[in-house]
Structure 1
Amino acid sequence: MAHIIVVGNEKGGSGKSTTSMHVATALARMGHRVAALDLDIRQRSFGRYLENRIHHCVKAGLDLPTPTLGDLPAQSPNDTDPLSQAMAQLDPDHDFIVIDCPGSHTRLAQMAHMLADTLVTPMNDSFIDFDLLARMSPEGKVLGPSIYAEMVWGARQGRQAAGAGPIDWVVLRNRLGTQAMHNKRKVGTALTQLSKRIGFRVAPGFAERVIFRELFPRGLTLLDLRDIGTEQLSMSNIAARQELRDLVATLNLPGVKIDF
């Protein structure tokens, strides 16, 4: 069976599509059979990112490793939900399926979380994003899990009832500041405390970099730069590649040996 990686957070702008694209493409470049599924039916950033990649490769004559882009069927026979039907089509032929969820609560996103072997939750390094994970007092004390954490708890309970394995939940701190700012330390302390209470691992994600916005129109990732003729990588690009390497290593996915 394919290992299912779900990238979810009920807030937009946290870097879910960028994370989905880079993880999926990194796995494909390492020789794994990877499928991609975008559940954000309205915005489709992950899906459009992959479509841009396919179109650019055709136009430029490039042969870049690319995940297979799956589709949700418009109609499902025998009352089968569209997500289950899409997964049934993708699962037999792939080692990994990367699912990007919308930045809001939907039935499909809730179902995807129940399927997750690995759950990746990118969040901006602020208490605004932290509020989706936990409620805090004005004094900074963690009072308890918030709406998204409660949804993940429900998904874990559903998997347990179905006899499935546990969810390995990794929270990514995206857009970390380069300096040890007071807010950064406070968010880190709160995340560490919360992780022990509700069961997730904390990992650094991607810093804010212009390169991510520049790559999207051509569907490229950090790992494709040399393939398109970029001989000299900037220090920022090298640092971003290391962030991706660290992220994939932190996910600790089965059968993955990092070679980029």
Structure 2
Amino acid sequence: MAHIIVVGNEKGGAGKSTVSMHVATALARLGHKVGVLDLDLRQKTFGRFVENRKATMARAGVDLATPEYHDLPEVDPATLKPGENPYDRRLSMAVAKLEADRDFIIIDCPGSHTRLSQVAHSLADTLITPLNDSFVDFDLLAHIDPDTNKVKGPSVYSEMVWNARQLRAKAGLKPIDWIVVRNRLGAQMMHNKKKMGDAVDDLSKRIGFRVAPGFNERVIFRELFPRGLTLLDLRDIGVVGQMNISNVAARQELRELMKALNLPGVEVKI
């Protein structure tokens, strides 16, 4: 059975698709068979990434390790059981198609609460939640006291993850390994960074997730998307000039993230 990685957060702009693209491509480059589903059925950012990647390979005449992307299949309403949600059936069919011959399935969730996202969280063996280094984003995980910065209680997204954990427990499945990734860290505002770090660490002990380092804010991620590339691909297509100090540091960030995920059967050597 494939190991299912869900990348989720109910807020847009946290870097979910960037994390999904880099983790999926890193796993493919390490020799693993990777399937990808994008649950943002309107924007389909990951689907666009793979399209761009294939076009770049054709132009450059190179073969880059690439995850296998699938749209969710359509279903005939007449085939649904009474009360069955069509989105549940579509996601189930997509996962069933991939899990037999893939090592990993990565599910990129939209930046909002949807039925598809809710169901996907209950399928997760590993859940990655990118989090901007801001108390605006932190509010999705927990409410804090504005005077003491102490955590008062879980918020809406944490409650959804808790419900997903309960469903998995009832089904006899292993617990979700939940990793919160502090993303888009900046070099400035060190005091705020420390307060965020303390709050995330405090919450991790209370509701049970691990904390992993993410990516600093870098223009290169946005620049590579139209070509369907990640930082790991630059040397393969001869773009040596873009491997400056900042981009080398970004490769190291990805390496550290992959190590922190501690995925089964993955030896990080990228």
TM-score normalised per structure 1? 0.97
Contact residue 137 and residue 143 of structure 1 kept, 8 A:
yes
* Corresponding position of 2:98: 90
Deviation at 1:57, TM superposition (A): 1.2
* Corresponding position of 1:105: 113
Structure 1, residues 198-254: CA drift from partner, whole Å, max 9, x if none? Answer: 000111100000110110001000000001112352000110000000000000000
* Corresponding position of 1:224: 233
Contact residue 21 and residue 46 of structure 2 kept, 8 A:
yes
Q: For 2:108, give the aligned amino acid.
A: D
**For structure 1, which segment, 25-34 or 79-88, has the greater mean C-alpha deviation from structure 2 after superposition?**
79-88
Contact residue 127 and residue 187 of structure 1 kept, 8 A:
yes
Contact residue 76 and residue 85 of structure 1 kept, 8 A:
no
Which runs of structure 2 are paired with 1:225-240 in the superposition (5 Å)?
225-232=234-241, 233-240=243-250
Which consecutive segments of 4 or more residues in structure 1 shift more than 6 A? Answer: none
Deviation at 1:179, TM superposition (A): 4.6
Contact residue 60 and residue 237 of structure 2 kept, 8 A:
no
Write the distance in 2 (CA, Å) between the matches of 1:154 and 1:199: 13
Cα RMSD after superposing both structures: 1.2
Contact residue 130 and residue 214 of structure 2 kept, 8 A:
yes
Q: Which runs of 5+ in 2 are unaligned?
A: 81-87
Q: Which of 164, 167, 184 is equivalent to 1:175?
A: 184
* Corresponding position of 2:135: 127
Contact residue 144 and residue 152 of structure 2 kept, 8 A:
yes
* Corresponding position of 1:194: 203
Structure 1 residues 55 and 11: CA distance shift in structure 2, 3 A: same
Write the distance in 1 (CA, Å) between the matches of 2:17 and 2:180: 15
Q: For 1:214, give the aligned amino acid.
A: E
Report how many aligned residue pairs link the two structures: 260
Aligned: 1:6 with 2:6:
yes
Write the distance in 2 (CA, Å) between the matches of 1:230 and 1:107: 41
Q: Which runs of 5+ in 1 are unaligned?
A: none
Which runs of structure 2 are paired with 1:1-260 in the superposition (5 Å)?
1-75=1-75, 78-79=79-80, 81-139=89-147, 140-179=149-188, 181-232=190-241, 233-260=243-270
Write the distance in 1 (CA, Å) between the matches of 2:202 and 2:11: 22
Tell me the SS of whatever aligns to 1:63.
coil
Contact residue 34 and residue 104 of structure 2 kept, 8 A:
yes
Deviation at 1:188, TM superposition (A): 0.4
* Corresponding position of 2:84: none
Q: For 2:48, give the aligned amino acid.
A: R
Structure 1, residues 14-67: CA drift from partner, whole Å, max 9, x if none? Answer: 000000000000000000000011000111112211111112212322200000
Tell me the SS of whatever aligns to 2:118.
helix
Structure 1, residues 131-159: CA drift from partner, whole Å, max 9, x if none? Answer: 00001122122110000000000000000
Contact residue 39 and residue 107 of structure 2 kept, 8 A:
yes
